Amino acid sequence: MRLAARHLWLGLATAPIIGFFALPILYLIAVSLKTKDDVLNGSFWPTTPTLANWPAAFEAANVVGFIVNSVTVSLLAGLLTIALTLPSAYAVLRLKIGGQWLSDVTLSSYMAPPIVALIPLFFLLKTSGLLDTRAGLVLVYGLANVPVAFWLLTPFLRRMPLEIEQAAAIDGAGPFRILLQIVTPIIAPGIVATFIIVTVLAYNEFLFASAFTFSDATRTLPVGISLFQGDRLVNFGQMAAASLAGIAPVYLIALFMQRYLVSGLAHGAVK
Amino acid sequence: MTAFTLDALGPDASRHTARRDVLWVRFGRALWIAPVVFALAVTTLYPTVFLLGLAFSKSTLGKPFRGFVGVKHFATALQDPIFLSAIGRSVAYALSTSLLQLALGFLIALLFASLLKGGRFLMSLVLLPLMTPPVMVGIAWKLIFAPAGGLLNGTLINYGVISQPISFLGHPLLAWLAIAVADLWQWTPFIVILCFAALSTIPEGVHEAALVDGANAWQRFWHITLPLVAAPLSSIYLLKLILSFKLFDLVYILTFGGPGFATTSAGFSIYRRAIEQFDVGRAAAETIIYALVIGLATLPVVRMHQRFERREI
- Beta bridge mates, A125: none
Distance from CA of B4 to the nearest CA of A (A): 22
Q: Which of A31, A91, A270 sits opposite B232 (nearest CB)?
A: A270
The CA distance from A223 to A213, in Å, is 9
**Interface test mutation site (partner A, options B143, B199, B264, max chain A beta carbons within 10 A):** B143
The CA distance from A43 to B249, in Å, is 27
Q: Which of B33, B132, B197 sits opposite A97 (nearest CB)?
A: B33
Mean pLDDT of chain A: 87
The CA distance from B156 to B153, in Å, is 5
Is there a contact between A269 and B30 if contact means CB atoms under 8 Å apart?
A: no
Q: Which of B128, B157, B284 sits opposite A42 (nearest CB)?
A: B157
Question: pLDDT tens across B146-156, in order?
Answer: 887 788 988 88
Q: Which of A18, A124, A269 sits opposite B194 (nearest CB)?
A: A269
Q: What is the predicted pLDDT for the residue at A106?
A: 83
Tell me the ipTM for this assembly.
0.88
Is there a contact between B143 and A240 if contact means CB atoms under 8 Å apart?
A: yes
The CA distance from B111 to B66, in Å, is 59
Name the residue with higher pLDDT: A118 or A41. Answer: A118
Burial A179-204 (b: 16+ CB within 10 A, else e): beebbeebbeebbebbbbbbbbbbbb
User: Which residues on chain B are in Cβ contact (under 8 Å) with A39?
Assistant: 149
> How many A/B residue pairs have CB atoms within 8 Å?
267
What is the value of pTM for the model shown? 0.87
Is A261 a residue whose pLDDT tops 90? no
Q: What is the DSSP string of B225-242?
A: IHHHHHHHHHHHHHHHHH
User: Which residues on chain B are in Cβ contact (under 8 Å) with A254?
Assistant: 124, 127-128, 131
Nearest CA in chain A to B31: A88
Tell which B residues from 212 to 241 touch A, by Cβ distance under 8 Å. Answer: 231-232, 235-236, 239
Number of other residues whose CB lies within 10 A of the CB of residue B183: 28
Is there a contact between B51 and A258 if contact means CB atoms under 8 Å apart?
A: no
Output the CA torsion A252→A256→A259→A263 (10° steps). Answer: -50
Contact of B53 with chain A, judged by CB distance below 8 Å, is answered with no
- Read off the pLDDT of each residue in B202-229 and give the average, rounded to a whole number: 84
Name the residue with higher pLDDT: A32 or B164. Answer: A32
Question: Which residues of chain B form beta strands (DSSP E)?
Answer: none
Q: pLDDT band at residue B310, thresholds of 50, 70 and 90?
A: confident
Q: What is the predicted pLDDT for the residue at B17?
A: 58
The CA distance from B101 to B34, in Å, is 38
Q: Is the dihedral of CA A122, A127, A132, A136 positive or negative?
A: negative
Contact of B146 with chain A, judged by CB distance below 8 Å, is answered with yes
Nearest CA in chain A to B297: A111
Tell which B residues from 175 to 214 touch A, by Cβ distance under 8 Å. Answer: 185, 189-190, 193-194, 196-198, 200-201
Tell which B residues from 271 to 290 touch A, by Cβ distance under 8 Å. Answer: 271, 274-275, 280, 283-284, 287, 290
Is there a contact between A269 and B29 if contact means CB atoms under 8 Å apart?
A: no
Q: Which of B44, B128, B201 sits opposite A109 (nearest CB)?
A: B44
- Residue B55: which residues within 8 A CB-CB, separation 6 or more? B73, B74, B281, B284, B285, B287, B288
Greatest CA separation found in chain A?
74
User: Which residues on chain A are in Cβ contact (under 8 Å) with B102?
Assistant: none
Is there a contact between B35 and A88 if contact means CB atoms under 8 Å apart?
A: yes
Preceding peptide of B35 cis, ω within 30°: no
**Interface test mutation site (partner B, options A14, A82, A100, A111, max chain B beta carbons within 10 A):** A111
How many residues belong to chain B?
Answer: 313
Is B119 a residue whose pLDDT tops 70? no
Q: pLDDT band at residue B15, thresholds of 50, 70 and 90?
A: low
Is B2 a residue whose pLDDT tops 50? no
The CA distance from A6 to A29, in Å, is 34
Question: pLDDT tens across A73-119, in order?
Answer: 999 999 999 999 999 999 988 888 877 888 888 877 887 788 888 88
- Say if residues B142 and B152 touch (Cβ distance below 8 Å): no
Q: Which of A119, A144, A246 sits opposite B136 (nearest CB)?
A: A246
**Interface test mutation site (partner A, options B135, B193, B293, max chain A beta carbons within 10 A):** B135
Burial A134-148 (b: 16+ CB within 10 A, else e): bebbbbbbbbbbbbb
**Interface test mutation site (partner A, options B25, B36, B143, max chain A beta carbons within 10 A):** B36
Distance from CA of A43 to the nearest CA of B (A): 6
Of the ranges A55-59, A138-142, A156-160, A211-215, the best mean pLDDT one: A138-142
Question: pLDDT tens across B80-104, in order?
Answer: 999 999 999 999 999 999 999 999 9
Q: What is the predicted pLDDT for the residue at B12?
A: 47
- Say if residues A75 and A199 touch (Cβ distance below 8 Å): yes
- Read off the pLDDT of each residue in A203-229 and give the average, rounded to a whole number: 90
User: Which residues on chain B are in Cβ contact (under 8 Å) with A35?
Assistant: none
- Say if residues B110 and A197 touch (Cβ distance below 8 Å): no
Question: pLDDT tens across B154-187, in order?
Answer: 888 888 888 888 888 889 999 999 999 999 999 9
Is A34 a residue whose pLDDT tops 60? yes
Q: Which of B125, B154, B287 sits opposite A21 (nearest CB)?
A: B125
**Interface test mutation site (partner A, options B83, B124, B139, max chain A beta carbons within 10 A):** B139
Is there a contact between B154 and A262 if contact means CB atoms under 8 Å apart?
A: no
